[in-house]
A and B are shown apart, each in its own frame.
Chain A
């Protein structure tokens, strides 16, 4: 990908090609993050789509003041997820299909992965919201601790501590399951 800062500058001026490149770069990551947070494929699809539509509307207000574009985009996704979870009265249903994985994988491998992912998403649901956020941003969004800190508005030290407690909690839940 081209230098992200120049792509963002062009996207702010409604350069379609630049914005599309950013979209392609982040689409899968945002989708994974949202899926892990809401645990429902259909809802994750709607939310992911909405994140990028909101990004188009808001891009003109984005200022590159130390906060990178990825943090800004994930913050939009975070707000969308929080909004969804708030509105959702009952707990989200975990729906997983084989199509979540690449279709050219070995069927046995796909099956095992499916089980792993299902267990993982169910386990993540049992963590505190802050722990869920760290795990989702770090492993689904593939962000560094520094970026996660920017999205969550916390210090890097606080995120590292949260990451530690999240992994410990996740381990406990997974071993019980």
Chain B
């Protein structure tokens, strides 16, 4: 019994040495008295290690990664408090939206993960429109567009799995709109457009600012999207002085947000078409033309967005 467990320990020690890159011969040299018994087992173990050459298909890997990320995001969103990280202005705006959605927040929340074949799907689309309208800066809207494009991709995959080519076409059209909007927003932001501050709910008439003060309103950072509270109008000098420091800070924040957005867009530019291509192999032939169009729309859309971001 003892002898056999000794042999098992030696065999295991040799296997570990093979894993570390040693040869069978080197192992046998250490145990010449057991070489006859050990050699065939070590050769077999070496053959068994060939299994490490098995690799998942690239398409499967891309699709699996995409679905993993989607599931992770869904799980994370569920856990977050709905008003987490929002300031007073946003809380107020969201309260109004909640009241407008007569059926209450529960419906909106339930709708947020609904798919096109669900009765709640129109609520999801309407909520997205409200979100877009309430997002103050172009960069914030652009970021939201990428999130919405990601949702459209998940919907396309879902409906393609169900074999509904017509629905895939419709969602592809929505995807196209989002990506076009993304490119426009990014271009507008680059051209130096001032961010829109709740266009539907103007904070304060701009005419109250003195004529000399042609300073753009402070750019809300992406992390703190607040409705600006009108402050007492400072003197011209004070505006000039404070503006120098603020504009440096704002430029830095803006560049930082732009870089972050670029990373997100670059990831989606690779992942989304790959996930759709992987889907091509699984779906019925009748859905493939619609899916191919979705692939070309996503490729072209992200290409333009990335060009605008560069």
Contact = CB atoms under 8 A, between A and B. Distances in A.
Interface of A: 14, 16, 19-20, 23, 27-28, 31-32, 35-36, 41, 45, 48-49, 52-53, 56-57, 97, 99-102, 113, 116-117, 120-121, 135, 138-140, 142, 144-145, 157, 160-161, 163-164, 167-168, 170-171, 174
Q: Which 7 pairs from chain A and chain B are nearest by CB? A: A160-B8, A171-B44, A14-B76, A139-B48, A99-B57, A31-B56, A116-B50
9 contacts: A31-B54, A45-B57, A49-B64, A56-B75, A97-B57, A113-B50, A120-B47, A120-B50, A121-B51
Given A120-B47, A160-B8, 18 more contacts: A14-B76, A20-B68, A27-B64, A32-B54, A35-B54, A56-B75, A97-B57, A99-B58, A117-B50, A139-B51, A142-B19, A142-B52, A160-B5, A160-B11, A163-B8, A164-B11, A167-B45, A171-B44
B5 A101 contact: no
A32 B69 contact: no
Interface in B4-21: 4-5, 7-9, 11-12, 15-16, 19
Question: Could you tell me the dominant secondary structure of chain B's interface residues?
Answer: helix
Contacts of B9: 160
B79 interface: yes
Contacts of B65: 23, 27
Contacts of A49: 64, 67-68
B41 interface: yes
Nearest to A168: B41
Contacts of B53: 100-102, 113, 117
Contact of B69 (A16, A31, A161, A168): A16
B54 A117 contact: yes
In this complex, which of B54, B64, B76 has the most chain A Cβ atoms within 10 angstroms of its Cβ?
B54
**Contact residues on B (Cβ < 8 Å of other chain), bracket:** 35 or more
Contacts of A53: 67-68, 71
Interface of B: 4-5, 7-9, 11-12, 15-16, 19, 40-41, 44-45, 47-58, 60-61, 64-65, 67-69, 71-73, 75-76, 79
B45 A161 contact: no
Nearest to B12: A160
Contact of A164 (B7, B40, B47, B75): B7
B27 to A, nearest CB: 14
Nearest to B282: A42
A48 B56 contact: yes
A139 B52 contact: yes
Contact of A116 (B7, B47, B71, B73): B47
A102 B55 contact: yes
Contacts of A52: 64, 68
In this complex, which of A14, A23, A100 has the most chain B Cβ atoms within 10 angstroms of its Cβ?
A14
A57 B237 CA distance: 57
A41 B50 CA distance: 17
A23 B51 CA distance: 20
A100 B68 contact: no
Contacts of B41: 164, 167-168, 171
Contact of A157 (B5, B44, B56, B71): B5
B49 A139 contact: yes
A28 B52 CA distance: 9
Contacts of A174: 44, 47
A36 to B, nearest CB: 6
Contacts of B50: 113, 116-117, 120
Nearest to A100: B54
A49 to B, nearest CB: 5
A27 B61 contact: yes
B268 to A, nearest CB: 15
Contacts of A120: 47-48, 50-51
A83 B81 CA distance: 36
A133 B288 CA distance: 40
Given A49-B67, A167-B48, A170-B44, A101 B54 contact: yes
